[in-house]
Chains A and B, each alone.
Chain A
Amino acid sequence: GQSLEQPSEVTAVEGAIVQINCTYQTSGFYGLSWYQQHDGGAPTFLSYNALDGLEETGRFSSFLSRSDSYGYLLLQELQMKDSASYFCAVPPRGGRRALTFGSGTRLQVQP
């Protein structure tokens, strides 16, 4: 089956940099995605890594190391609006469509 582990909560201040880690155990690997979800809102796509290395999209970057079964989401220049839950996700077993989500990390940005 698929198993993804993330820290449950992270707190940081405005303007800081925060890293949210994700370790995974999967039967077959087809890439690691990251989604953001504000309270009461829908999950929204942030990034996808199929290969090792860093993908940068504005203030957000995502890193993958397939040999370590590990990835992280890096958020720079934190803003209050970044307070949300962040999920790493992989396709379910067999590389089918849809996503299996990690348990989620709740990020609290403080002034």
Chain B
Amino acid sequence: DTEVTQTPKHLVMGMTNKKSLKCEQHMGHRAMYWYKQKAKKPPELMFVYSYEKLSINESVPSRFSPECPNSSLLNLHLHALQPEDSALYLCASSQDRAGGVSDTQYFGPGTRLTVL
């Protein structure tokens, strides 16, 4: 099983709403990632979890709050978002071997978020 699943596929929310994005993998990977992708742009790294601990936060605003409940699950909690946060949110995972630099990343299909 080389699949990363994400729910929901689409999400529309108002600026005062609280919602969560979910990501799951069953490949035994120990590193998980959140990326944000705007139309016709490359994915941009937001957060990295390694062995369920947050290892990288790329200066993401606090209205985005990641959580890694266990090694298979990754959540992104959203609160008080702005319209400019509308984008495709991609989850990825990798084995996280020593250094991790050569690890293949496996991406989920993404959640397309629209903030009204």
Contact = CB atoms under 8 A, between A and B. Distances in A.
B102 A99 contact: no
Interface in A26-44: 30-31, 33, 35, 41-44
A97 B55 contact: yes
Given A31-B101, A31-B102, A96-B56, A101 B107 contact: no
Given A41-B109, A102-B42, A97 B104 contact: no
A2 to B, nearest CB: 11
B109 A96 contact: no
A44 B100 contact: no
Contact of B45 (A31, A43, A95, A99): A99
Contacts, number: 68
Q: How large is the interface on B (under 10, 10 to 19, 20 to 34, 35 or more residues)?
A: 20 to 34
A48 B104 contact: yes
B67 interface: no
Interface string B28-48: 000101000000111111001
15 contacts: A30-B99, A31-B101, A42-B90, A43-B90, A45-B106, A87-B42, A92-B45, A95-B99, A96-B101, A97-B101, A98-B33, A99-B45, A99-B105, A103-B41, A104-B41
Interface of B: 4, 31, 33, 40-45, 48, 50, 55-56, 90, 92, 94, 96, 99-110
